Amino acid sequence: MKLDAQIVGNAGLYFTCYHLSLLGWNVMPTARNARGIDVVAYSRDGKQFLGIQVKSLSKRAPVPLGKSLDNLMADFWIIINQVISKPTVFILTPDEIKQRVHRGEKDGRISYWLQPKDYESADFRDAWHRIGRGDKSA
pTM of the model: 0.91
pLDDT of 116-132, one tens digit each?
999 999 999 999 999 99
| H-helix or E-strand spanning residue 114 | strand 109-114
Specify the range with the lowest mean pLDDT, choosing from 27-36, 59-68, 90-99.
27-36
- The confidence score (pLDDT) of residue 73 equals 87
- The confidence score (pLDDT) of residue 137 equals 55
Q: Is 61 helix (H, G, I), strand (E, B) or coil?
A: coil
Instruction: Output helix, strand, coil percentages for the chain, rounded to the nearest 5.
Output: 25, 30, 45
- The confidence score (pLDDT) of residue 1 equals 64
Question: What's the rounded Cα separation, in Å, for the pair 90 and 88?
Answer: 7
Radius of gyration for the alpha carbons in the chain, expressed in angstroms and rounded? 15
The pLDDT of residue 32 is above 80? no
Classify 58 in phi/psi space as left (phi over 0), alpha (psi -120 to 50) or beta. alpha
Half-sphere exposure of 12 (CA within 13 A, CB side): 28
Mean pLDDT across the chain, nearest whole number?
92
Question: What's the rounded Cα separation, in Å, for the pair 1 and 3?
Answer: 6
- The confidence score (pLDDT) of residue 76 equals 97
Instruction: Name the pLDDT band for 72 (thresholds 50, 70, 90).
Output: confident
Domain map (residue ranges) of the chain: 5-130
Fold of 5-130: Trna Endonuclease; Chain: A, domain 1 (3.40.1350)
Phi and psi torsions of 12, nearest 5°: -65, -40
Percent of the chain with pLDDT over 90: 83
